[in-house]
Structure 1
Amino acid sequence: MLGLLLALAVAVAHAQPGTKPAVPTTPSAPATTTAFPDSAHLTPQTTRGGVRFVFHERGAGAQARPGSRVAVRYTGFLPDGHIFDATAASGGPIRFRVGRQEVIAGWDELLPLLPAGSRVRAWIPAALAYGATGVRDPDDYTRYLIPPNTALVFELQVVSVR
């Protein structure tokens, strides 16, 4: 599932040109504190597009710019705390270029704010994730891995920026 985030972001970005993602119907507040209690005491920062994030550790490395190549380890959670994808399953980070729609829009917006070495928890609004499309289960197309209009939570570690 390592490539899920990358492949689905590209598919969503290229699906139905000219359409806008639906307005998220899930709450814009961070995921419930019961699912993620260690971030409950931290005040999130918010990007211009509505991505909320808290630093667990602020890195001292290079900062990404559009076109930068980054390596990121992540775990993706649904709002109820269930994991839908993680790089730990493959043993290595995902690599992509920032700002090139190779990942979900929320990541492209967030990553330029995170120096290499940073670890954050991020809450991505549905409109900056998979919007009204969601992500269907490739093994059972009647089910969703990520339901439509679902905000997502990520634990991210920026491994490198080049």
Structure 2
Amino acid sequence: MPTTTDSLLARAVTTSSGLRYLIRQPGSGPTARAGEKVTVHYTGFLTDGHIFDASVKQGGPLKVRAGRGEVVPGWDEVLLLLPQGSRARVWIPAALGYGSEGRQDPDNEQRYLIPPNADLVFELEVLKIK
């Protein structure tokens, strides 16, 4: 997991799977149930602070059905925990992310966007649940 230099990590909730999250701004809307569509803005970091992906770079928020395996297991888990309107920091252990496979750079197979066994950190904002 990330080093303790991340002061927010000390206040995070840890789930039984090892996922950690801290709600930075509570939402007042509903919490998603499995199969519901969740619209979310995100920025993904490696634990060294390197940004590997962001919804704004992709042209807008991500829409995904929560709990249906459309995203890494850590996302599936946390999307069922965050009410609409929430902003949260999420720490995803490698086993709930891209695991030992990592994620190769589609433009250069010699490089990884996400190295094997990398823990991930996300800033998430749940915009809409329906």
1:108 is the counterpart of 2:47: no
Alignment of 1:70-109 (within 5 A): 70-109=38-77
Q: What are the superposed Cα offsets for residues 30-59 of structure 1, whole Å, 9 maximum, x if unpaired?
A: 4452xx55x26x510012211101111010
The structure whose residues are more often helix, as a share, is 1
SS at match of 1:106: helix
CA distance in 1, matches of 2:106, 2:59: 22
Aligned pair count? 130
Equivalent residue, structure 1, for 2:15 = 47
Is the Cα contact below 8 Å between 1:32 and 1:79 reproduced in 2? no
Alignment of 1:5-84 (within 5 A): 28=1, 30-31=2-3, 33=5, 36=6, 39=8, 43-84=11-52
Is the Cα contact below 8 Å between 1:106 and 1:129 reproduced in 2? yes
Residue 71 of structure 1: how far off its partner (Å): 0.2
CA distance in 2, matches of 1:52, 1:61: 21
Equivalent residue, structure 2, for 1:5 = none
- Choose from 110, 122, 125 the match for 1:154: 122
Provide structure 2 residue ranges, at least 5 long, that are not aligned to the other structure: none
- Choose from 143, 147, 157 the match for 2:111: 143
Q: Percent identical across equivalent pairs? A: 55
CA-based RMSD of the aligned residues comes to 1.4
Q: What are the superposed Cα offsets for residues 80-115 of structure 1, whole Å, 9 maximum, x if unpaired?
A: 000000011134110010111000100111111100
SS at match of 1:108: helix
TM-score (norm 1): 0.76
TM-score (norm 2): 0.94
CA distance in 2, matches of 1:31, 1:59: 28
Provide structure 1 residue ranges, at least 5 long, that are not aligned to the other structure: 1-27
Equivalent residue, structure 1, for 2:92 = 124
CA distance in 1, matches of 2:59, 2:104: 24
Corresponding letter in the other structure for 1:45 = V
Corresponding letter in the other structure for 1:98 = A
SS at match of 2:124: strand
CA distance in 2, matches of 1:161, 1:132: 32
